[in-house]
Amino acid sequence: MLIIVGLGNPGGEYERTFHNAGFWAVDALAELLGVAVKDKECKALTGKLYKGDEKIVLAKPQTYMNLSGDSVRELMGKYGASAREVVVMYDDVDLPFGALRIRKDGSAGTHNGMRDIVLKAGEPPRVRIGIRKDDERPLRDYVLSRLTESDTEILGASAKSAAEALKKYIYDRDLEKIMREYNNLKVES
């Protein structure tokens, strides 16, 4: 069992914002795997595939970001998954724009969605997609701001790299190897 969750906010007004990087990464992974993420369950849009007898669930919680733990906890309960059988992909303002960091566990940092998941569902492995730029706006305004064309290209490439890393993880489950390969990666314009 593996549940791969991408964090974001539902609704068209949030679609092209920094805070939806996790949704972008799940969409990129779904495309790589040929899966449609459109079923509605456990307060999320999901898509499923099998690797042998193992079920893989891709999920985009449809709660607002700060309540992501509700959806993740429900998915874990429905599928009988532990926190170690979940991987969460999300934007991280603590990392430079375009950087990726894959971790087995650790602090949720400043990310309220990840904090909610840790509180309600445990400490899953995570893929952090860097969004930090020099910007003087308050954090909330920045993460919910509309992306420029250049930002869209970089975030799209970062999401695709995160998806490629998770596709490899699905097939070989060697998180250490994937960390070595992707943790020094930084997409630039």
pTM of the entire predicted model = 0.94
Provide the 8-state DSSP code for 148.
P
Q: Of 4, 5, 19, 45, which residue is the catalytic one?
A: 19
Residues near 133 by beta carbon (within 8 Å), at least 6 away in sequence: 97
Q: Can you spell out the DSSP letters for 79-115? A: HT--GGGEEEEEEEEEEETTBEEEESS---TT-HHHH
pLDDT at 189: 58
Question: How many helices (H) and strands (E) would you count in the chain?
Answer: 6, 7
Rounded Cα distance between 129 and 73, Å, is: 22
pLDDT in tens, 2-38: 999 999 999 999 999 999 999 999 999 999 999 999 9
2-182 belongs to which CATH class? alpha beta
Listed as ranges, residues in the chain with pLDDT below 50 are: none
Catalytic annotation present for 111: no
